[in-house]
Structure 1
């Protein structure tokens, strides 16, 4: 691994730590969401199934959307810059399979990033790597 790759990993971890600190005391903390890595290209985060289920013991679809919106909004913020605000204006989710235990992992990647909008796709998988949910979010950059 080159020095540049080490610096990139370090920067991704530092950005993830910053996002986790900012989430303290907010919904992300109550849901157990932890950002594990963050860069302009990809953000990953985890969320426990336990505590985020519906009455049948399955991961609540709304919890998946909270994870997706968290990661997508963070991606929007990275692309907007520190002096701008980002607000979600549209989100959708397709639930492919249920999760009943362990952690789910969300991986957010930018589809398009412009001057006023950032559109991202978030894929949520279970611990076996099976896709549970696919979400797309559009964030508006407020100047």
Structure 2
């Protein structure tokens, strides 16, 4: 049975002392086929022109998409590796919050394909990303 609170607690716990913590990414919602995180837009994630850096958007997308794959595996026996990500940056953002929502497109035994929509507070699409994750057997 799906346990939303357990998923969010685990995702936020394993993010400590990582890039996700540096970028202030916080996992805030989950369902059986999606995971959502938020990230503040401030100088920490700006490019030199004062806009949200595309790399920060991609970091948010890969973080939420990779974490989402963990919902579909047995973490004691398997682990996830992102193997390809693409991003289309559609709108600029200077400040506020962006939300990354990963939704499963394909859930195979060894490959997961995710669509990650990064939107602002008003629901405007900032970036649209696609992430492929490989599911590997955990080495003993």
Q: Same fold (TM over 0.5)?
A: yes
Shift of 1:40: 3.2
Q: How many residues align?
A: 135
Partner secondary structure for residue 72 of structure 2: helix
Distance 1:99 1:13 in 2: 30
Shift of 1:99: 0.7
Distance 1:132 1:39 in 2: 22
- In structure 2, the residue matched to 1:78 is 71
Q: RMSD of the TM alignment (CA)? A: 1.3
Shift of 1:79: 1.4
Q: Which runs of 5+ in 1 are unaligned?
A: 1-6
Which residues in structure 2 correspond to 1:82-97 (within 5 Å)?
A: 82=75, 83-97=77-91
Distance 1:40 1:79 in 2: 9
Kindly indicate which of the two structures has a greater share of residues assigned to strand: 2
Whether the aligned pair in 2 keeps the contact of 1:110 and 1:121 (CA below 8 Å) is yes
Q: Which runs of 5+ in 2 are unaligned?
A: none
Shift of 1:29: 0.2
- In structure 2, the residue matched to 1:4 is none
Instruction: Kindly provide the CA deviation profile for residues 58-99 of structure 1, in whole angstroms up to 9, marking residues without a partner as x.
Output: 000000000000011012221122220110110000000011
Partner secondary structure for residue 11 of structure 2: helix
Distance 2:132 2:113 in 1: 4
